[in-house]
Amino acid sequence: MGYFVPIRPMAKLRRDKIWRWRCQWSVVTITAVALVIYNAAANVWLLRPQPCPAVNTPSPPPSSETSSCEPCIDTAPNIVMDDDPISRLDLRLGRWDGSRSFRMFDYATVGDMYAEISGNRRVCLATQSSIERLHELLRIAAHWSGPISVAVFVAGDELRLLRAFATWLFRCQPEIYSRLALHAATPAERPGTPGSMPNWAKDCDAMPLPPGERRADTVAWRARHPYPQNHLRNLARRNCQTPYVFLVDVDIVPSKGMAESLDKFLTTAPKCPLCAYVVPTYELDRRVANFPANKSELLRLSRNKLAIPFHRKVFIYNQYASNFSKWEASGGNESIDTHVSHNVTNFELLYEPFYVASDTVPAHDERFLGYGFTRNTQVYEMFLIGYQFRVLSPIFTIHWGLQARRSRPLWREKQNEKNRKHFETFKRELFARYRRDPLHLLRRPPQAKKT
């Protein structure tokens, strides 16, 4: 006798078995998908680029392990991993001067906007300085909105102070640093040494370059060796990238808005390849609290004997040919747009104005070291070539402090006498080069002692 198995219970068992099998595979599938998603998310998280540092935030100490993060590309151009802009300067790769006495370093550091601003402006301000005067640059930069090319002379431990100043600008004055190009010159006899960074370099509440920072032996060496002004002038000039250059000393401050005003003037002025546009320069009494807002204010200070033409009491022929009386005749009642006031018609042998011109003008002769005959020889060669000097108005520049002959140290007169001998050689070379006797082309000024 056989067994009878009902059909419907057997079908139910089969359906239950299939259901359990589907449930098991569904759990396995869901688990596998979850693991894949988790692994993908974990990989994305672990392999993401490291976040870029915030502006002016000190970088953490470098790790001993090699970093695997990619360079940050979405930050402002001014941000770099290292906020010591001159740290990578290779002191073995400087460009020698003609006598192999000085090494030049073009673009020791350059702001991220320098090239772009140079492409959009017509005038670059070029200047030169020693370390102890470099803080004067802040006054210039406060009034000049265009590109600035600065050549700095550094000997021995002064290089660390230049690095510190560049770091301070980078961290604390990014707007100034961004349109600045710093170049360095070091003497072969006492090349720059990096040294340690002073504390003020990363303190935005501190004043940069406080006195007493240089080593005593560096100060003593500098006192015995003349300052190579003309090397630095050429270095700053040649690294301007604009059609025109405005070359000044670091203690000469332009009037406000001059960069924009010159751009407008040079855009509309007739083309004149042999024109040099003179910017009048005044000395301002230190008792005056504020920079003159305009020409009218400057002339008011002049009438009150609180402002005088530059070098009038020290060496009158320095600016005499600019004819300040004619420049002041308007009384300030003139157009606010920059224009030519008058032409220089009484050129003097020792004339040395601050001017705007194309950098096709002759280079400054680097045989003249220290003080005396450093600028006027270059201006005089321009005169022999045929340059016309045209005085601009109402813009001007200011030297803060009235100068007096008695305040000049004895060593400046010694350097001046040495350069006077170089001038005799220079004069003969000009005669041979241009086939004209330089001294017969103009009225020689009365003999005056130049300091």
| Residue 61 binned pLDDT confidence (cut-offs 50, 70, 90) | very low
pLDDT number for residue 55: 39
What is the value of pTM for the model shown? Answer: 0.79
Q: Give the pLDDT confidence of 281-299 residue by residue, as tens digits.
A: 999 999 999 999 999 999 9
- Over 60: is that where the pLDDT of 51 sits? no
- Over 80: is that where the pLDDT of 45 sits? no
| Residue 79 binned pLDDT confidence (cut-offs 50, 70, 90) | very low
| Residue 56 binned pLDDT confidence (cut-offs 50, 70, 90) | very low
Angle between helices 376-385 and 410-434 in degrees, nearest 10: 20
Cβ neighbours of residue 302 under 8 Å, at least 6 residues apart? 282, 308, 328
Q: Ranked by mean pLDDT, which of 29-33, 75-79, 82-86, 94-98 comes out on top?
A: 94-98
Spatial distance between the Cα atoms of 238 and 360, rounded to a whole number of angstroms: 10
Spatial distance between the Cα atoms of 176 and 180, rounded to a whole number of angstroms: 7
Contacts 24+ apart (CB under 8 A), 286-291: 286/400, 286/401, 286/402, 291/143, 291/253, 291/255, 291/256, 291/398
Among 325, 416, 435, 328, which residue's Cα sits nearest to residue 377? Answer: 416
Angle CA 103–107–109, to nearest 5: 115
Q: What sign results for the dihedral spanned by CA atoms 407, 134, 380, 420?
A: positive
**323, 325, 329, 335 alpha-carbon torsion, rounded to 10°:** 40
Mean pLDDT within 254-271: 97
Spatial distance between the Cα atoms of 183 and 174, rounded to a whole number of angstroms: 18
List the end-to-end C-alpha distance of the chain, in Å, as a whole number: 142
Spatial distance between the Cα atoms of 185 and 326, rounded to a whole number of angstroms: 40
Q: What percent of the chain has pLDDT over 70?
A: 80
pLDDT number for residue 267: 96
